Structure 1
Amino acid sequence: MNQEILREITPLTGHDCFTMFAREKKGFDFPLHFHDEFELNFIRNAKGAQRIVGDHMDEIGGLELVLVGPNLPHGWFTHRCRSRSIYEVTIQFHRDFLPAALLNRNQLSFIKNMLEKASRGILFSRAAAEQYAGRIEALEKQQGFDSVLELLSILQGLSTTDLRMLSSAPAQDGAQQHTSRRIQKAMEYMHQHFDDTVSLREVAALANMTEVSFSRFFKKRTGNTFIEVLNEIRMGNASRMLIDTTHTVHEIAYQCGFNNLSNFNRTFRKKKNCTPTEYRQRFAGSRIFV
């Protein structure tokens, strides 16, 4: 598997529980990728397509349901699929959608076990996919709290079915899990001020450190540089605005802290493997946030 792996920055924000994207398509064109969120993917009528999850590769049948854990490379590819009416539902939710304190309760032990196994990717049985297909497809018609409860109910039900793990090894967890108050304070500041000029100097000052020391400290704790994380925060917000608003690309770029449109377009293409306009067209009117 020599494909380049794209790090996807999803448009989920800290205020969302999950996002859902349902669409009909003629083929699979998104590259092999990974992201910080869990992803539940339901696919109908794509027999012959190829699925890659971690180091596992397989040709899929006409119906499948897969749960992928955070930072696990995955992707579906047209391969030998001849269908021109593929139907796909993608549900993404934060890794802390269910906090550890809640997952440790006896009543959620099955879900906890399933989410842990998702670090290697899970393929549910065809029977389970058939059983939950209707509820997954209808989830976009739910609203607010009811939709959150329904997603939890679906996850609970799936956690009691037969689970087949795909990848031989779990994802290399590069997630930004850290206990440092300095890092947390810096992250909070960047999330609050991503739409303005945010310098390494001012964030380092918040942590009461020199720029050089903070830069090394930040990279060691998060696995990314200060500017990489700041750009990811800006890209996530820009992606959300492209879907949720009618603002021009130029307006969104400036509202997300990019003072140069060319730089925004270049960064967006590098992170998303498409232009902002192509991204908007791909998701317009078909993605919901809860």
Structure 2
Amino acid sequence: MSAPSIEKTLTPKETFIYKDLIGPNFNPNWHFHPEFQISYIMEGEGTRFIGDHVQNFKKGDLVMTGPNLPHLWRNDDIYFEKDSGLTTRGLVIYFDHVLLSEPLLEMEEFYKINKLVEHSLRGIEFLGETRDIIIRLILELDKQKGFKRILHLLKILDTLSNSTEYNILASPNYMNAFRGGDAEKMRKVYDYVMANFKTNISLDEAAGLLNMTTTSFCRYFKPRANKTFTRFVNEIRIGHARKLLLEDNFNISQISYECGYNALSNFNRQFKSITDMSPLEYRKLFLNIQAPM
């Protein structure tokens, strides 16, 4: 996984900022910053990385991340092709932790907000009616001025804190183990995996990118990604398989090959290990159709 760079999004005089990000692709750099972030994807598809979490994203994605939690919304390769004609758009709120200081969070009235803050340290995906309400509130935020902007942001946070429609993303034991010196090394590994996961991934080649032996590379990679290199590659592949299963353009054998698996049995085993269901069960659950093998 690409190592995160450290960013600062707010100036000392800002409590929060609201950005409408439009471009051919989202920021391709794995990064983290000391502010909270709420991100709504209006246009764009790809793979979402939050801590050690890996999953596809598409239009409608709504996620809150806490301070110093590495994250990246990486668009599919087609978004990086010249003259693709594709556009991405994301509405993003960055706000400082001073709005939610520890003494404030200890107050009884802030119990649910405190839980929201705790969950955000692992990233939270919001779904259903909550997502619809928050999207409307985000779209209204730019119309607010002065202190009313703060009140509007607090309304957003209050709505999120009262929701039961969410998934916590990074694993419970995730910790940001990256250091500034890792950035270039891990970027090379990340780019290699994203470019080759559909065909052949070589542990020797990945290690060679960093001028390491395979043993040294595995020791280096695991604490920074909170998983083995093999597991990381499989999560990227299975994430792509999920997308293909929902599109319903291929049978499961074809999807297995398209995702870099030469043996259907291995594909089925890895898919169940990561999703707790078979590819056919996944397709039936989300499409409610009987797909041919």
The residue aligned with 1:146 is: 148
Q: Equivalent residue of 1:157, what SS? A: helix
1:153-164 superposed matches below 5 A: 153-161=155-163, 162-164=165-167
Change (3 A) 1:170 1:11: same
Taking the aligned partners of 2:8 and 2:46, their CA distance within structure 1 comes to: 25
Q: Equivalent residue of 1:120, what SS? A: coil
Q: Equivalent residue of 1:148, what SS? A: helix
Amino acid of the structure 2 residue aligned with 1:157: T
Taking the aligned partners of 1:35 and 1:171, their CA distance within structure 2 comes to: 14
Amino acid of the structure 2 residue aligned with 1:72: L
Q: How far off its partner does 1:173 sit?
A: 9.0
Taking the aligned partners of 2:94 and 2:177, their CA distance within structure 1 comes to: 17
The higher relative CO (CA closer than 8 Å, separation ≥ 6) is in 1
- Matching of residue 74 in structure 1 with residue 71 in structure 2: yes
Q: Equivalent residue of 2:94, what SS? A: strand
The residue aligned with 1:53 is: 50
Amino acid of the structure 1 residue aligned with 2:167: R
What TM-score, normalized to structure 2? 0.54
1:7-26 superposed matches below 5 A: 7-13=6-12, 15-26=13-24
Say whether the 8 Å CA contact 1:34–1:71 is kept in structure 2: yes
Pairwise CA RMSD: 2.1
Q: Over residues 156-196 of structure 1, what are the superposed CA-to-partner deviations in whole Å (9 max), with x where a residue is unaligned? A: 0011112211011344499xxxxxxxxxxxxxxxxxxxxxx
Q: How far off its partner does 1:24 sit?
A: 2.4
1:1-290 superposed matches below 5 A: 1=1, 3-13=2-12, 15-46=13-44, 48-79=45-76, 84-161=86-163, 162-168=165-171, 169-172=173-176
Q: How far off its partner does 1:81 sit?
A: 6.6
Gaps of 5+ in 1: 175-290
Gaps of 5+ in 2: 80-84, 179-293
Q: Say how many residue pairs are matched.
A: 171
What TM-score, normalized to structure 1? 0.55
Taking the aligned partners of 1:12 and 1:171, their CA distance within structure 2 comes to: 26
